[in-house]
């Protein structure tokens, strides 16, 4: 099978499997590799040490598939429904995590089927499918494959699908018929995404300081969130969609036809107070197969406490009082800060009672700071 026939067959099979976008490019050193290294050197990756540990591997796709010659870049829409406005006691989850599946599992399943298709055509072809866990600069190759351009918020935009889609890649050690690269950036003078970011995470257009990004803070950052950023996190407990929601290219983006991406009841938004009642086992049972498992129980409860702190209400006090007795110091510290935003006599009483029982210096400091804030009113 010649490259043209193979590419056509692959794209047809990818569409049959449910992928909405496809484009082929050569497996080469990405033009942005050195910018990626500079980005790491500036510390913008924060605690994502796995990027630094593997940075040399990003220089060429052959580190992902030995002898790689071609990449079929694929897109899978995940937009399913409009976001529902959250209220006090609820929190927002990025829409990619509204369903009861981890998108990695679903996309890998489709890639495995596509790999089987290739092997059935020619068992001698080397092939590997990856979705955002291998050392591959996917957005660079997606541009090279002509399926979109990198926006000022660093995400990839497709004229039809907007940015509400997952990227995946199928690497092969044979040539394909390559698509024309995307050479035009269609963002123009628009800066809606940059202007809307609550934490000012964009150092400049196309450069994100992940350590300031709500998505990073709620998922990848595993320790206490810097105090100055907590109020800016608003009510997000997993990820953030703000820079995508304001993007004009997303106004007419299509809805996903993938049944497994349909939102669960109670994830758009999610009720927060009851989360503090979940044991480790109960949390695992409820969220093990979903994206909420990545930050683990301690991370989600930390985020939930901050969200409740940013939407003070007397109805939050029982949950936060429970959080202040949690076994995880990370959770206790966040709930102590949150109680300091609740200007009620009971909040101060809860904090003062906890201060005499708290063994950890860092948490005691959070409690003391919150008592001081409430006393100053």
Phi/psi region, residue 43 (left: phi>0; alpha: psi -120 to 50; beta: rest), is left
Token code pair at residue 73 = 């870049």
User: Do the Cβ atoms of 181 and 27 come closer than 8 Å?
Assistant: no
Within 13 A of 349's CA, how many CA atoms are on the CB side? 5
Catalytic residues: 132
Report which secondary-structure segment, H or E, holds 93: strand 90-93
Within 13 A of 364's CA, how many CA atoms are on the CB side? 7
What residues form DSSP beta bridges with 70? Answer: 26, 172
Per-residue three-class SS string for 12-26: HHHHHCCCCEEEEEE
Q: Which residue has the tokens 């079929």?
A: 72
Instruction: List the Cα angle 120/122/123 in 5-degree steps.
Output: 80
Token code pair at residue 243 = 């820079």
Phi/psi region, residue 321 (left: phi>0; alpha: psi -120 to 50; beta: rest), is alpha
3: burial class by Cβ within 10 Å (0-12, 13-18, 19+)? Answer: middle
Instruction: List the Cα angle 359/360/362 in 5-degree steps.
Output: 150
Residue 9 CB coordination number (10 Å): 14
Instruction: List the Cα angle 16/17/23 in 5-degree steps.
Output: 80
Phi, psi of 121 (to 5 degrees): -70, -45
d(CA 28, CA 228): 42
Closest Cα partner for 22 from 181, 145, 182, 155? 145
Phi, psi of 24 (to 5 degrees): -115, 145
Token code pair at residue 98 = 């509204």
């Amino acid at each position: 099978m010649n490259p043209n026939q193979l590419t056509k067959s692959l794209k047809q099979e990818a569409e049959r499997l449910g992928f909405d976008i496809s484009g082929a490019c050569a497996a080469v050193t990405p033009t942005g590799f050195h910018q990626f290294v500079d980005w790491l050197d500036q510390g913008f990756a924060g605690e994502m040490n796995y990027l630094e540990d593997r940075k040399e591997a990003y220089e060429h796709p052959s580190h992902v598939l030995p002898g790689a010659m071609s990449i079929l870049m694929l897109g899978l829409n995940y937009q399913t429904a409009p976001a529902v406005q959250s209220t006090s006691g609820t929190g927002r989850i990025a829409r990619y995590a509204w369903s009861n599946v981890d998108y990695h599992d679903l996309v890998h399943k489709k890639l495995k089927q596509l790999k089987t298709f290739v092997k059935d055509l020619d068992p001698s072809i080397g092939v590997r499918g990856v979705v955002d866990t291998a050392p591959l600069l996917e957005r660079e190759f997606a541009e090279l494959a002509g399926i979109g351009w990198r926006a000022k918020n660093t995400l990839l935009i497709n004229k039809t699908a907007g940015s509400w889609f997952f990227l995946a890649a199928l690497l092969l050690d044979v040539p394909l018929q390559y698509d024309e690269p995307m050479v035009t950036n269609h963002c123009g003078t628009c800066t809606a995404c940059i202007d809307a970011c609550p934490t000012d995470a964009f150092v400049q257009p196309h450069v994100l300081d992940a350590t300031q990004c709500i998505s990073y803070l709620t998922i990848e950052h595993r320790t206490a969130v810097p105090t100055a950023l907590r109020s800016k996190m608003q009510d997000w407990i997993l990820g953030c969609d703000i820079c995508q929601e304001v993007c004009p290219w997303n106004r007419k983006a299509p809805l996903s036809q993938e049944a497994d991406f349909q939102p669960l009841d109670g994830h758009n938004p999610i009720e927060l107070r009851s989360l503090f009642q979940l044991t480790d086992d109960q949390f695992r049972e409820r969220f093990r197969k979903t994206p909420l498992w990545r930050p683990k129980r301690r991370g989600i409860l930390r985020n939930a406490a901050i969200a409740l702190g940013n939407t003070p209400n007397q109805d939050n006090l029982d949950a936060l009082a429970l959080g202040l007795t949690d076994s995880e110091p990370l959770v206790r510290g966040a709930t102590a800060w949150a109680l300091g935003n609740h200007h009620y006599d009971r909040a101060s009483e809860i904090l003062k009672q906890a201060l005499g029982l708290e063994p950890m210096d860092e948490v005691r400091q959070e409690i003391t700071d919150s008592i001081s804030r409430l006393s100053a009113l």
